[in-house]
Structure 1
Amino acid sequence: MERSVTLIAMFAALIAALGLIPQFTLAFGVPITAQTLGVMLCGTVLGAWRGTLAVLLFLALVALGLPLLAGGRGGLGVFTSPTVGFLIGWPIAAFAAGLFMHLFRQIPVGLAAGIASVLGGIVVLYVFGIAGLMVVLDKTALEATALVSAFIPGDLIKAVLAGFITQGLARARPDALLSRA
């Protein structure tokens, strides 16, 4: 129990630390950040439930006003911005990535983590991101999907990184990979 709480807090801190990497904001107001890499790693390393809890802890701290999102953003106002769909989707994306890691436990860790990151951290997350853009920016599904497609190359790079990082962690400390336990 104590170990789980520590890891959940550490991965929430990892997401916050990845927010310090400079962001690139697209013309329609949604930033490209490294924080989704942290969300992917929450699922691939901690597993579905612990990964979800780490992301929820991070989002609770953001809601309390801590400026932990990329660009120093925080507070309840970020939950009314164009990024709201992505923020709501983060815990579900972490859960999905962790679930896919568990389902793919028969294939090598790095490959499983890469696939889990694409399915959870991109496909599942984009469903929420598109819905958020449709509501906040009053876009059609097609328009919102076109806007979100700008994220695909960067997110694929993050998914590959998540695969390599998870594989490296599995080699260095196999017992630390809770998604396969």
Structure 2
Amino acid sequence: MATDLTGKTIAFLAAPEGTEQVELIDPWQAVRDAGGEPRLVSTAGGRIQMFDHLDRADTFPVDDTLDAVEVADFSGLVLPGGVANPDHLRTDPRAVAFVKGFFDTGKPVAAICHAPWTLVEADAVQGRRVTSYASLATDIANAGGEWVDEEVVVCPMGPNTLVTSRTPADLPAFDRAAIDAFAK
């Protein structure tokens, strides 16, 4: 990727269990390839258990817990999907506040697949064009967002940019759009 993220640290927020592996690993590598520093933030320390759909996959080491970081520590945020990951995060007030903080400070956020569930809880989709896994369309519409069925949606609003995608098949477009948003 031609876009340079040198000197930028990007938070990847994931629950202890249930993150779709490819939706964490692929954007993680894209951030690294662009010269950025990805950091895994979770609600608990240790390692997260990732999944390949419904099957257990690899574990991944947590860099920081939510109690030890602030939004100011990061240039942007990636929210990987998987069904269980955002479902856990949206019920954790610390995770919701962390996500909301990126919007409050105008920092870019990228969310894929089921991850917009956490955005709904953080009241971050109202008035925005958003895509996601199709089963979230009603949740997004009920939260005031406009759900669209597109590979990637880049929605600038005020100083903040939100990048969303539907599924792992959209990862190449998602990665490019996220890196572009983080580079600005």
TM-score by length of 2: 0.28
Of Structure 1 and Structure 2, which has the larger fraction of its residues in helix? 1
TM-score by length of 1: 0.28
Of Structure 1 and Structure 2, which has the larger fraction of its residues in strand? 2
> Which structure would you say has the larger Rg?
1
